[in-house]
Structure 1
Amino acid sequence: MDYRIKAGDTLSHIAATRKTSVSALMKANPQIKDANLIVAGKTLRLPGSSDGFDDMPTKNPGGKSATKRNDKTSTSGSPASGASSDGTKGPKGSPYDIAKNHLNKNAGSLKLEKKGVGADMDDGVGNKVNCANFVSACLEQAGMISNSQHHNSVRGLQQNLDNDKDFKRVSLKDAKPGDVVSLKTGPGLDDRHVVLFAGWKNGKPEFIGSNNRNADGTQRITMSQADYPILSIHQYRA
């Protein structure tokens, strides 16, 4: 949900009461150029009110919070970022490779394509909430799910994969590029985001998906690290 700024509010106070961070608020609201200058009456988009990434701690395979951004030591035994040769594959290919072919495309433009992932995406989904729509389409293109299993909500896609005997939940340490990762982005039941695991970079997990990276809040296909708690990782085992 959004938050209307009140007189006397500061970003740090809002971040503390909403269990987020100043940097996450600024990422979600690119119109804010100075963290010390916000205007009463204006509306803030809270991280988790639509798909995107926050600055909450994610646990790495060692069980410690992965908070260092510049750690140059990779986690022992973890595949390198983008190691699709070690990833999960369906009858028609790797969902990671399929997703990577669309890096930096706007989700709104991708949906207009008449073949491939774009053709499998639902045109009726808003351009700020395409994460499950995009991941579902990548799984369809890889031959891992049918059109009837496509879902435009994270929770719906989670349930469909839980009900599919070809998918099993795994831990982060066992994740492979192409696995479906659902993240908790806020306190609400539907404050969720879904991406594909892309490997490890500097000891932290990296993900690819449709993320709120444009200045107007719309989504673009990007690959990055995320600091949200992980709800589930589904791995194709057929």
Structure 2
Amino acid sequence: MGYRIKSGDALSRIASVNKTTVSALMKANPQIKNANKILAGATLKVPGQSDGFEDAPIKKSGAGSTKSSDKSSTFDAPAAGSSSSGVKGPKGNPYEIANQHKGKNAGALKMEKKGVGADMDDGVGNKVNCANFVSACLEQAGMITDRQHSNLVSGLQNNLDKDKNFKRVSLQDAKKGDVVSMKTGPGAEDRHVVIFAGWKNGKPEFIGSNNRNKDGTQKITTGPANYPILSIHQYRG
């Protein structure tokens, strides 16, 4: 989902129409280096649009159902004896940090003046805080710097791929605190990012900023997910 830039558009007008800010638009679209220079025909990621993710979505049977070979339906619990303990950074574990804010609305959390809230970008819309929240938890754990913070899932993935302290792992090797990016739709930026929260009844659970409120805004919640996993980044610093 996004906004296709038209000839004559200005970033300030796009921000106003979509009830966001120029700074939030630029942070969500790192390819924009100058707010006064945007290219007609390009597509912008707009803060405030939904991540397209809800906890434990139910896939309908019958016409249009997902095939059993879909990655999202083939989660396997780790073998007996494998490690599922949390991974810690210099300042803590992202899962434990995230869990302290469980039940909070993302819009309220990002206005807090310390901790995770202070590291979240206030200008991001209340429906798309998933990467904003996960980035802040990683910052609080001492795993990434402020410069590595991204409000875009793909941006956070790229930053972690470039960081020598992170390594991609399989779901079976995941530990509490790992960063899990998922594909939620056909668009290039239809993605969601959460933090691995362990296994429950043989199924993986995740904590993150999810579209759980009736108005589509996000809340910090824990639960299973039913989307294909794009990547799992584990801290090895």
TM over 0.5: yes
- Where does residue 214 of structure 2 map in the other structure? 215
- Where does residue 34 of structure 1 map in the other structure? none
Q: Does 1:52 align with 2:53?
A: yes
Moved beyond 3 Å, runs of 4+: 53-59, 63-67
Q: Secondary structure at the match of 2:97?
A: helix
Q: Deviations over 1:130-182 (max 9, x none)?
A: 00000000000000000000000000000000000000000000000000000
The share of aligned pairs that are identical, in percent, is 69
- Where does residue 151 of structure 1 map in the other structure? 150
Amino acid at match of 1:50: D
- Where does residue 109 of structure 1 map in the other structure? 108
Q: Deviations over 1:80-139 (max 9, x none)?
A: 9xx7xx111000000000000000000000011000000000000000000000000000
State how far apart, in whole Å, the 2-side matches of 1:111 and 1:190 are: 22
Distance 1:51 1:120, change over 3 A: farther
Deviation at 1:79, TM superposition (A): 7.6
- Where does residue 164 of structure 1 map in the other structure? 163
Structure 2: tracts of 5 or more residues without a match? 3-48, 60-65
CA contact (8 A) 2:51 2:130 kept: no
Q: Deviations over 1:12-43 (max 9, x none)?
A: xxxxxxxxxxxxxxxxxxxxxxxxxxxxxxxx
Q: Does 1:90 align with 2:82?
A: no
Structure 1: tracts of 5 or more residues without a match? 3-47, 68-73
Q: Deviations over 1:185-236 (max 9, x none)?
A: 0011100000000000111100000000000000000000000000000000
State how far apart, in whole Å, the 2-side matches of 1:64 and 1:133 are: 24
Q: Does 1:77 align with 2:76?
A: no
CA contact (8 A) 1:58 1:66 kept: no
Amino acid at match of 1:215: K
Amino acid at match of 1:146: T
Q: Secondary structure at the match of 2:192?
A: strand
Deviation at 1:78, TM superposition (A): 7.5
TM-score by length of 2: 0.70
State how far apart, in whole Å, the 2-side matches of 1:234 and 1:112 are: 27
CA contact (8 A) 1:136 1:157 kept: yes
CA contact (8 A) 2:106 2:219 kept: yes
- Where does residue 73 of structure 2 map in the other structure? 65
State how far apart, in whole Å, the 2-side matches of 1:121 and 1:64 are: 29
Distance 1:210 1:161, change over 3 A: same
CA contact (8 A) 2:180 2:232 kept: yes
The within-5 A match list for 1:188-203 is 188-203=187-202
The within-5 A match list for 1:4-15 is none
State how far apart, in whole Å, the 2-side matches of 1:218 and 1:162 are: 29
State how far apart, in whole Å, the 2-side matches of 1:78 and 1:212 are: 35
- Where does residue 124 of structure 1 map in the other structure? 123
CA contact (8 A) 2:78 2:172 kept: no
Q: Secondary structure at the match of 2:128?
A: coil
Amino acid at match of 1:65: S
Q: Cα RMSD (Å) of the superposition?
A: 2.8
Amino acid at match of 2:110: K
CA contact (8 A) 1:58 1:226 kept: no
Aligned residues between the structures: 182
Distance 1:228 1:136, change over 3 A: same
- Where does residue 227 of structure 1 map in the other structure? 226
CA contact (8 A) 2:166 2:236 kept: yes
Deviation at 1:52, TM superposition (A): 1.2
